[in-house]
Amino acid sequence: MSLLREIQDSAVDANESIGTLLRKCKILAARLGSSEFKSWVDSELNGYADVKDMPEYRIMSVSCKGHFSGGFGAAINNAEIPSNCIPKEYRENLYTTYMVQPISSLESLINDSDGGTVQEPWPANVTAHFGTKMYQGYNCMQAWKVIPVNALVGVLDVIRNRILNFVLEIESEDPAAGDAPLNSKPVAEDKVQQIFHMHISGNVQNLATGSTNVKQHAINNEHNEVLNELLHALVQVNDSKESKDEIVGAVEEMRDTQGSVGFKENYNKFMSVLSDHFQVYGPVVAPFLPALAAIVP
């Protein structure tokens, strides 16, 4: 079996470790002579050293909770911490999680979780600074970010999907590319770069310098990818057919009107539907909300 086919099989096999899949991709990167693809694979395997270099699928908005202590032994445990309790300049860092860990660490978090969420503690000095400003008469003793496990699963799915799309495109250029000698560049370097930006990094517009029309088309492709990934995540949710059809239909309407004046109306409709089913779909949609908001004209 060719390396490209091995990678395809691994990408669609949910039981295959993401680490194993990425190591196969590292071999492919060497054979393609693609430094960008190799760098992305290494970052996924070893973690990201700088949040500025992180892809958008590893950054997500989260909620926060805490344990509070009051007078005469009063206590509130696992209480939501409303974001408006925190000054605006601190909210983004406290209500956003940046998953810089190696992909194996994310897999371990998923496998070891038992309550549907994992926690990322607030720094102790931050908790102490804002502890008395959340609930009147109470002091926050411990605070943490609440990260839904299904959002972590979504990160792994995004990686699988991007790899699958990438290798399928490479195979269409040269079916034997994965078995070529190291650094032989069986596919033209600029073509590999284009495929990488289209399917892995999402920065297709960087290849369209000097052409307004091409740049706009690339941006739309990136937005469509976000909407398609959201649809993929939603259809995996275990819920009634009626509810799932309603929210999936709302996303499909956004996708169909993306780039037109009707998108904002459909976005508002989607948010209304989401609010009616937030308990089930909220954790799934949360990682996509910043990207969706960025599409709204």
Give me the pLDDT at residue 211, please. Answer: 32
Give me the pLDDT at residue 206, please. Answer: 34
Give me the pLDDT at residue 218, please. Answer: 34
What's the pLDDT tens digit per position in 256-281?
887 777 888 888 898 888 888 888 88
pTM for this predicted structure: 0.67
What's the pLDDT tens digit per position in 192-216?
999 999 999 865 433 333 333 333 3
Q: Which residue has the higher pLDDT, 18 or 290?
A: 18
Q: With 50 as the cut, is the pLDDT of residue 32 above it? A: yes
SS3 per-residue string spanning the chain: CCHHHHHHHHHHCCCCCHHHHHHHHHHHHHHHCCHHHHHHHHHHHHCCCCHHHCCHHHEEECEEEEEEEEHHHCEEEEEECCHHHCCHHHHHHHCEEECCCCHHHHHHHHHHCCCCEEEEECCHHHHHHHCCCCCCCEEEEEEEEEEEHHHHHHHHHHHHHHHHHHHHHHHHHCCCHHHCCCCCCCCCHHHHHHHHHHHHHCCHHHHCCCCHHHHHHHHHHHHHHHHHHHHHHHHCCCCCHHHHHHHHHHHHHHHHHCCCCHHHHHHHHHHHHHHHCHHHHHHHHHHHHHHHHHHCC
